[in-house]
């Protein structure tokens, strides 16, 4: 026997598709069978499995577990919960060798997918392609593993609360915070968490509903923060925190309703952490503001610009021993007193403790940041066969000039006006552009340089592509 996947579902960082069209129970069963076989070949035998609140998730979980046990792996089923709860189950249990979370993340309700951990490291890129190859070839081990259920929610919440250690409780007790779970999988953990946190907490949409009836669960799109902004304004709260559909990405606003973007959150976390970890390497992706890299250096840290993608960032953290990393997309990774995975609930607690330790409100910390002028992330459709080639063409043209080019991930060019970025998405047929300056005129010139390079490759910034 063997199984071939729709080629669109085997993505760079995870497996994801449309239920009933490109993804179904047979795919889930084959993922379990193949992942389990690969794990057994590597000497592992036990897998933690969790799922998000999408209506298709229980069906996929059932089939996935069938596949895993048929490969001879034992399964620890942790049930409905946020992706970081599954990561916690995998990282904290010494007998678990791998983990799989069924989640469509921030995609529309008819999508679903799988995020995987293999012997403590992200399972992505070449791993996912190998899973597809082995499944198509039917290279599966046989066995009769067993499945057991284990409730880890309470111990996961207790573990997050350890972040409060060493912080003056009186500085936390006066905080008033709004939280928006967006009807995503983080809701149950959030309810338990805030019940034990100091301060006053106001919650939105903690009921898990895979139809997302109130707003789309992507906190990096400002319009999805409208209800949280209203809550913070109506109740005069100190700040607000929002989550994506599976709780691994954070969004935040300050007491004035201003968005605190991913790189700005990392500025706060880095300033706090570097007080006790001078010289530590802090990683951010190529889309992050130059203000972040400057701030890390000013606080005594070593800023490192790296490729976009949560799996790539996690791998680089392990390689460098970095205690903190983050992305513009709201993935934040703590490895100082935590496990190094992206956990938006834990990041929410750490925003509280950072504010307390630094002795400034979140609103003040946001106000203290340089007022950079930048574009949002501009995404536009480019044929799959052209996207990487176009970036190489831009690199080649710039190599004949005296431009200051960083080629870590695409092309990031520093000029007297600021910087501009052009990179190919690893997960979609789009190019991503961004630019930042300290003047409006400078930003216009930077955008002009992007358009100039695109035109030289026969492209233009056409209709914006969806995430």
Active-site residues, by number, are 105
Q: CA-to-CA distance for 110 and 55, rounded, in angstroms? A: 9
Asked whether 202 and 231 are in contact (CB, 8 A), the reply is yes
**Residues whose CB falls within 8 Å of the CB of residue 50, separated by 6 or more in sequence, listed in order:** 77, 78, 79, 80, 81, 83, 85, 86, 89, 99, 100, 101, 102
Residue 199: closest CA among 235, 232, 174: 174
Distance CA 23, CA 107 (A): 14
How long, in residues, is the chain? 467
Instruction: State how far the Cα of 217 lies from the Cα of 250, in Å rounded to an integer.
Output: 11
Distance CA 325, CA 308 (A): 11
Q: What stretches of 181-337 adopt beta strand conformation (E)?
A: 200-204, 239-243, 250-254, 259-260, 281-285, 302-306, 324-326, 332-334
**How far are the Cα atoms of 5, 15, 32, 58, 118 from residue 64, in angstroms, in the given order?**
14, 13, 5, 10, 16
Q: What is the Cα–Cα distance from 161 to 172, expressed in whole angstroms? A: 13
DSSP annotation of 130 = H
- Asked if residues 285 and 314 have their Cβ atoms less than 8 Å apart, the reply is no
How far apart CA 204 and CA 63 sit, in angstroms, is 32
* Separation of alpha carbons 338 and 30, rounded Å: 33
- Strands 259-260 and 281-285 come out as unpaired
461, 436 in Cβ contact below 8 A? no
């Amino acid at each position: 026997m063997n199984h071939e996947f729709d080629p669109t579902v085997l993505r760079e960082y995870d497996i994801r598709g449309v239920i009933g069209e490109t993804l179904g129970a047979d795919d889930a069963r084959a993922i379990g069978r193949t992942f389990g076989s690969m794990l057994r070949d590597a000497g592992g035998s036990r897998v933690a499995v969790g799922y998000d609140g999408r209506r298709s998730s229980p069906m996929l979980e059932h089939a996935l577990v069938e596949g895993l046990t048929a490969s001879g792996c034992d399964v620890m089923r942790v049930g409905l919960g946020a992706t970081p709860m599954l990561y916690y189950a995998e990282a904290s249990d010494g007998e678990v060798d791998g983990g799989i979370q069924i989640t469509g993340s921030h995609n529309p309700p008819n999508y679903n997918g799988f995020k995987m951990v293999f012997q403590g490291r992200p399972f992505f890129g070449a791993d996912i392609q190998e899973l597809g190859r082995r499944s198509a070839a039917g290279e599966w081990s046989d066995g009769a593993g067993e499945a057991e259920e284990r409730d880890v929610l309470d111990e996961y919440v207790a573990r997050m609360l350890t972040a409060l250690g060493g912080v003056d409780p009186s500085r936390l007790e006066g905080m008033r915070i709004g939280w928006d779970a967006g009807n995503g999988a983080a809701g149950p953990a959030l309810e338990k968490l805030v019940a034990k946190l100091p301060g006053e907490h106001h919650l939105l949409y903690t009921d898990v509903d895979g139809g997302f009836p109130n707003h789309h669960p992507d906190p990096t799109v400002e319009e999805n923060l409208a209800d949280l902004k209203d809550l913070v304004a109506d109740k005069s709260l100190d700040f607000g925190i929002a989550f994506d559909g599976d709780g691994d990405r954070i969004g935040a606003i300050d007491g004035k309703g201003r968005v605190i973007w991913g790189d700005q959150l990392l500025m706060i976390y880095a300033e706090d952490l570097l007080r006790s970890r001078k010289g530590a390497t802090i990683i951010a992706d190529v889309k992050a503001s130059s203000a972040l890299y400057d701030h890390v250096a000013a606080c005594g840290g070593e800023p490192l610009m790296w490729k976009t993608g949560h799996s790539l960032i996690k791998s680089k953290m392990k390689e460098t021993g970095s205690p903190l990393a983050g992305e513009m997309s709201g993935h934040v990774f703590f490895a100082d007193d935590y496990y190094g995975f992206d956990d938006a609930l834990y990041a929410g607690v750490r925003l509280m403790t950072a504010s307390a330790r630094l002795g400034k409100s979140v609103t003040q910390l946001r106000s203290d940041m340089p007022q950079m002028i930048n574009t949002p992330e501009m995404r536009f459709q480019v044929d799959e066969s052209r996207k990487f080639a176009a970036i190489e063409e831009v690199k080649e043209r710039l190599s004949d000039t005296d431009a200051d080019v960083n080629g870590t991930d695409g092309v990031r060019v520093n000029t007297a006006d600021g910087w501009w970025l052009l990179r190919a998405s690893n997960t979609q047929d789009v190019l991503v552009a961004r630019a930042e300056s300290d003047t409006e005129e400078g930003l216009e010139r930077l955008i002009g340089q992007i358009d100039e390079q695109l035109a030289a490759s026969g492209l233009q910034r056409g209709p914006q592509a969806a995430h």
